[in-house]
Amino acid sequence: MVRFFSLLVGFLSIQFALAQTQKIPFQPMDVFALEWATDPQISPDGTQVVYKRNGFDIMKDNANGNLWIVNADGSSHRKLTSREVSESQASWSPTGDRIVFSSTTDEGSEIYMYWTATGQIAKISQLEKSPSSLTWSPDGKWIAFTMFIAEKPPVVAKLPEKPKGAKWAEPARITDRLKHEADGSGYMAPGFTHVFIIPADGGTARQLTSDNYSHRGNLSFSPDGKEIYFSSNRIEDWEYRFRNSEVYKVNVATKQITALTSQDGPDHSPQVSPDGKTVAYLGFEDRVQDHQNTLLQLMNNDGSNKRIISSNFDNSVSDITWDASGKGLYFMYDEKGNSKIGYITTSGKITKLADNVGGTTIGRPYASGSYSVSQNGTLVYTQSRPEYPAELAVIQNKKEARLITNLNADVLAFRELGKTEEVWYKSTFDDRDIQGWIVKPPFYDPSKKYPLLVENHGGPILNYGDRFTAEIQLFAAAGYVVFYPNPRGSTSYGEEFGNLLKNNYPGQDYNDVMDGVDYLVEKGIVDNDRLYVTGGSAGGIMTTWMIGKNHRFKAAAVIKPVVNWISKTLVADNYYGYAEKRYEGQPWENFETYWKFSPISLVGNIETPTMVMVGMNDLRTPPSEAKQLYHALKLRKVETVLVEIPEAYHNIAQRPSNLISKVAHILAWFENYE
């Protein structure tokens, strides 16, 4: 990967640090110099790791990444190929002699092969669309993958032919689908995703699945290579039973598809055991609530003898991988705001193997990350701490984790970051223990009282944790103590805690956040007369709710909020998913409840100067929501400003310049009310 700007920033940082004999706080332009590792894949013998090394392109204002390879002891760290295009989805062959990956071309994304002995690469496919879920057959002769196949849109009216050379308006866009758009990509072309197989030496891809159903997620071969296991929603009325999916297998030769599960709920992520007799998968029977733990389940390869092996584990299980012996599986989970890797035997005994997984979400400290494991049990994963985004860490022979990369030494070694500290306090509503974190300003002076900036997380069924966060570091560098809590409804504290918001959101999660504010004030850490609050998405909901409930904050920044559940529910890209799960019934069936929990219902109480920000292409919390709040505040003559980010979807900070702009606008607004 070309790192001219990163190296330039590093060089200038070093010169400045040497001249000043001290570090400086994290700077907005440092965002462009950050790098982070994703999707590490360890070789079968445990000696090498290939991974995607990501960074920001300052000229194109986006993230890009190439594949790199490093020995498991950290030596011989080098770029996998000489190509300067996007590369991803690396996967070692069963014998470790080749690496398959996907990469962009002028015509689109294709499948490539890399030979480890010679370093040669070759394109082995010629596909209509981008491939996903690249998976080796056990004998190394085939690559299975999924790919979208377009369908024709419906036709309502037949129009006359336009004259040759005429410049008529674009034809009407017509859809009859329940889900027809998606935040981040916009309008969804009609069609379905199917399973394919292609020779590992190159050739013609053969489609294995058919019919009008989509087949997504990971794929898993049987040991003899004759069957591929996958998940789909091949049921009657699948469009409206969208929370459901089942595990299937397809015969590679005959294309016969067999359903293996049938419970009403999301069964997915099948993984076949080394001996082929058992299939592990994830899912649960849907009880239609805000949060349910994802369970690890086993069944025979014909679908019989289903059993749950993680029922005594009160956290969701994800990213499962069989060990070489077939006696248990590796998996990921979140616990108290920290992502971990565990091992579970087929009888249900769990052992924690690693902490601090994550660091692949650069903006804010959400859960993320991935891992892989070799045949001899060597474990590689993306590790993050508040001091650095995702680096590669290796665990061998049950020893302590050891970092084998240091991607940001050229920048972060010369920055004084805000120190992150864990806090626990009691909820005044029901005496529950609530967890949060504070980030103190660089060069913190304990004799001073600092202004407090509350950062509410999104979801709300998600979690923040002790992970690197560029946005919060920039807030701290501006002189704020930043507080980010995990109130009730957050994940990683068990199913009951995560489901406390069912038919009650926002509810006592408001009390949990304010109790944290009071805790910090009582401890003398922050100045009660200088309180500020912000948050995005569900965090924007909470921020609006907070300033509607009290007048303690000097200023607020409401980012991409929902303020009216009635209008949002019927306009957003996920409009079909709220009834019964968030509130009982549809908005026209339960108008009073939907309105009761809409922050706009409190707008008559708001006196806090409020900035409202939204991406102009946001389909998840549409701009109409932000405008409702802004217009209401303007009518009430409350100090307010509307900031609209052009060409941005819900993830405003996806482009690094927008991340910087978002933080700069929030800080500038707050500075008006110091």
Q: What are phi and psi of 240, to 5 degrees?
A: -95, -20
The closest alpha carbon to 558, from 492, 617, 606, 601, belongs to 606
Cα–Cα–Cα angle for 222, 228, 230, rounded to 5 degrees: 120
The continuous run of DSSP H or E covering 220 comes out as strand 215-221
**Percent of the chain topping pLDDT 70:** 97
How many residues are listed for the chain in this entry?
A: 674
**Which pLDDT value is given to residue 5?**
38
Per-residue pLDDT averaged across 173-191, rounded?
95
Looking at the predicted structure, is the pLDDT value of residue 8 above 80? no
Q: Is the peptide bond between 487 and the residue preceding it cis, with omega within 30 degrees of 0?
A: no
| Confidence at residue 15, expressed as pLDDT on a 0 to 100 scale | 42
In this prediction, residue 66 carries a pLDDT of 96
- Tell me the C-alpha distance between 599 and 6, whole Å: 43
DSSP β-ladder status, 640-645 and 610-615: parallel
What pLDDT score does 122 carry? 96
Nearest to 205 by CA among 261, 127, 92: 127
pLDDT exceeds 60 at position 662: yes
Does position 20 have pLDDT exceeding 60, yes or no?
no
pLDDT of res. 17 = 42
Q: Tell me: the pLDDT tens digits for 469-510?
A: 999 999 999 999 999 999 999 999 999 999 999 999 999 999
Lowest mean pLDDT among 36-50, 159-173, 419-433: 159-173
Q: What is the mean pLDDT of residues 219-245?
A: 96
> What is the structure's pLDDT at 168?
92
Mean pLDDT for 378-397 is 97
Position 149: which residue type? I
* Least confident range of 21-35, 366-380, 657-671: 21-35
Which two three-digit tokens encode residue 576? 């079909």
Position 104 scores a pLDDT of 87
Average pLDDT over residues 449-468: 97
Residues 617-659 have pLDDT tens digits of: 999 999 999 999 999 999 999 999 999 999 999 999 999 999 9
pLDDT of residue 517: 98
Average pLDDT of span 66-72: 98
The closest alpha carbon to 131, from 41, 205, 39, belongs to 205
Instruction: Report pLDDT digits (tens) over 325-348.
Output: 999 999 999 999 999 999 999 999
Cα 239 from chain centre: 24
Categorize the per-residue pLDDT at 106 as very low, low, confident or very high, splitting at 50, 70 and 90.
confident
Residues with Cβ within 8 Å of residue 564, at least 6 apart in sequence: 598, 599, 600, 625, 628
Q: b vs e for 159-174, b when ≥16 Cβ sit within 10 Å of the residue's Cβ?
A: eeeeeeeeeeeeeeee
What tokens were used for 260? 């293996």
Instruction: Give the Cα separation of 282 and 291 in Å (integer).
Output: 15
Q: What is the mean pLDDT of residues 181-200?
A: 97
DSSP string, 226-272: SEEEEEE--STTTTT-TT-BEEEEEETTT--EEE---SSSB-EEEEE
The percentage of the chain sitting over the pLDDT mark of 90, rounded to a whole number, equals: 93
Q: How far is CA 388 from the centre of its chain?
A: 18
Closest CA to 56 of 68, 66, 64, 46: 64
The mean per-residue pLDDT over the stretch 596-618 comes to: 98
State how far the Cα of 297 lies from the Cα of 282, in Å rounded to an integer: 6
Contact 189, 150 (CB under 8 A): yes
> Average pLDDT over the chain, rounded to whole?
95
pLDDT for 9: 41
Q: What is the DSSP string of 2-47?
A: --HHHHHHHHHHHHHHHHHTS-EE--GGGGGG-EEEEEEEE-TTSS
Judged by DSSP in three states, 592 sits in: helix
Span 250-290, pLDDT tens digits: 999 999 999 999 999 999 999 999 999 999 999 999 999 99
pTM: 0.94
Sign of CA dihedral 49, 54, 55, 59: positive
CA 672 from centroid of its chain's CA atoms: 33
Q: What is the pLDDT of residue 578?
A: 87
